[in-house]
Amino acid sequence: MGRKLLLEHINVPGINTFDVYRQKGGYRAVEKALKTLAPADIVEEVKKSGLRGRGGAGFPTGMKWSFLAKPEGVARYLVCNADESEPGTFKDRYLMTYIPHALIEGMIVSSFALGANTSYIYVRGEMMPQIRILEKAIAEAKAAGFLGKNILGTGYDLELYVQPGGGAYICGEETALLESLEGKRGNPRIKPPFPAIAGLYGCPTVVNNVESIAAVVPIINDGGEEYAKIGVGRSTGTKLISAGGNLRKPGVYEIDLGLSAEEFLYSDEYCGGIANGKRLKAVVAGGSSVPILPANLFLKTVNGEARLMSYESLADGGFVSGTMLGSGGFIAYDEDQCIVRNTWNFARFYHHESCGQCSPCREGTGWMEKVLHRLEYGHGKMSDIDLLVDVSKKIEGNTICPLGDAAAWPVASAIRHFRDEFEWHVTHAGEATTHNFGLAHYADPLPKKEESVA
**Is the domain of 148 the same as that of 28?**
yes
User: Would the pLDDT of 451 be above 50?
Assistant: no
pTM summary value: 0.95
Residues 6 or more apart whose Cβ sits within 8 Å of residue 49: 62, 219, 224, 225, 227, 228, 236, 237
**Is the domain of 217 the same as that of 92?**
yes
User: Would the pLDDT of 446 be above 80?
Assistant: no
Residue 135 and residue 147 in contact, taking contact as beta carbons nearer than 8 Å: no
**Is the domain of 281 the same as that of 219?**
no
CATH of the domain at 273: 3.10.20.600
DSSP 73-142: T---EEEEEE---STT--HHHHHHHH-HHHHHHHHHHHHHHHT-SEEEEEE-TT-HHHHHHHHHHHHHHH
Q: What is the Cα–Cα distance from 213 to 416, expressed in whole angstroms?
A: 36
User: Would the pLDDT of 316 be above 50?
Assistant: yes
Mean pLDDT of 203-218: 98
CATH of the domain at 110: 3.40.50.11540
Q: Which residue has the higher pLDDT, 450 or 96?
A: 96
Q: Is residue 446 part of a domain?
A: no
Confidence at residue 449, expressed as pLDDT on a 0 to 100 scale: 58
Helix (H) / strand (E) containing 307: none
Q: How many CB atoms lie within 10 A of CB 289?
A: 27
Predicted confidence band at 131 (pLDDT cuts at 50, 70, 90)? very high
Query: Taking the chain, what is the end-to-end CA distance rounded to the nearest angstrom?
Result: 41
User: Would the pLDDT of 450 be above 60?
Assistant: no
pLDDT digits (tens, 9 = 90+) for 52-103: 999 988 899 999 999 999 999 999 999 999 999 999 999 999 999 999 999 9
Q: What is the Cα–Cα distance from 384 to 387, expressed in whole angstroms?
A: 5
3-state secondary structure of 152: helix
* Total domains, the chain: 3
For the chain, give the percent of residues with pLDDT over 70.
Answer: 98
**Is the domain of 215 the same as that of 73?**
yes
CATH of the domain at 425: 1.20.1440.230
Mean pLDDT of 408-419: 97
Residue 343 and residue 174 in contact, taking contact as beta carbons nearer than 8 Å: no
ω into residue 410 within 30 of 0, thus cis? no
Q: Is residue 86 part of a domain?
A: yes
Predicted confidence band at 188 (pLDDT cuts at 50, 70, 90)? very high
Of 316, 334, 352, which one is at a domain's C-terminal end? 334
Confidence at residue 95, expressed as pLDDT on a 0 to 100 scale: 97
Whole domain around residue 298: which residue ranges?
260-334
Confidence at residue 454, expressed as pLDDT on a 0 to 100 scale: 38
User: Would the pLDDT of 104 be above 50?
Assistant: yes
Q: Is residue 252 part of a domain?
A: no
Predicted confidence band at 23 (pLDDT cuts at 50, 70, 90)? very high
For the chain, the C-alpha Rg in angstroms (whole number) is 23
**Is the domain of 301 the same as that of 409?**
no
**Is the domain of 304 the same as that of 361?**
no
Q: Is residue 69 part of a domain?
A: yes
Q: What is the Cα–Cα distance from 252 to 241, expressed in whole angstroms?
A: 6
Q: Which residue has the higher pLDDT, 57 or 188?
A: 188
Q: Is residue 387 part of a domain?
A: yes
**Is the domain of 58 the same as that of 85?**
yes
**Is the domain of 266 the same as that of 392?**
no
Residues 6 or more apart whose Cβ sits within 8 Å of residue 110: 42, 65, 78, 119, 206, 208, 213, 216
Listing from the earlier edge strand, what are the strands of the sheet with 77-82? 159-164, 118-123, 77-82, 205-209
CA distance readout (Å), 167 to 82, 146, 163, 186, 270: 11, 30, 12, 10, 31
**Is the domain of 329 the same as that of 348?**
no
**Is the domain of 165 the same as that of 112?**
yes
pLDDT digits (tens, 9 = 90+) for 141-179: 999 999 999 999 999 999 999 999 988 999 999 999 999
Residue 188 and residue 173 in contact, taking contact as beta carbons nearer than 8 Å: yes
Poorest-confidence range of 134-138, 146-150, 246-250, 430-434? 430-434
Of 296, 314, 334, which one is at a domain's C-terminal end? 334
Q: Is residue 105 part of a domain?
A: yes
**Is the domain of 321 the same as that of 366?**
no
pLDDT digits (tens, 9 = 90+) for 189-209: 999 999 999 999 999 999 999
Q: Is residue 399 part of a domain?
A: yes
DSSP label of 357: -
**Is the domain of 153 the same as that of 218?**
yes
Residues 6 or more apart whose Cβ sits within 8 Å of residue 421: 338, 339, 340, 437, 440
Q: At what angle do helices 91-98 and 210-222 cross, to 10 degrees?
A: 60
Mean pLDDT of 256-273: 97
User: Would the pLDDT of 453 be above 50?
Assistant: no
Confidence at residue 452, expressed as pLDDT on a 0 to 100 scale: 45
User: Would the pLDDT of 265 be above 90?
Assistant: yes
Residues 6 or more apart whose Cβ sits within 8 Å of residue 206: 64, 65, 68, 76, 77, 78, 79, 110, 114, 116, 195, 196, 199
Q: What is the Cα–Cα distance from 351 to 364, expressed in whole angstroms?
A: 8
Mean pLDDT of 370-398: 97
Confidence at residue 448, expressed as pLDDT on a 0 to 100 scale: 67
Q: What is the Cα–Cα distance from 4 to 239, expressed in whole angstroms?
A: 10
Mean pLDDT of 401-420: 96
Poorest-confidence range of 33-37, 104-108, 165-169, 404-408? 165-169
Q: Is residue 371 part of a domain?
A: yes
Of 174, 208, 229, which one is at a domain's C-terminal end? 229
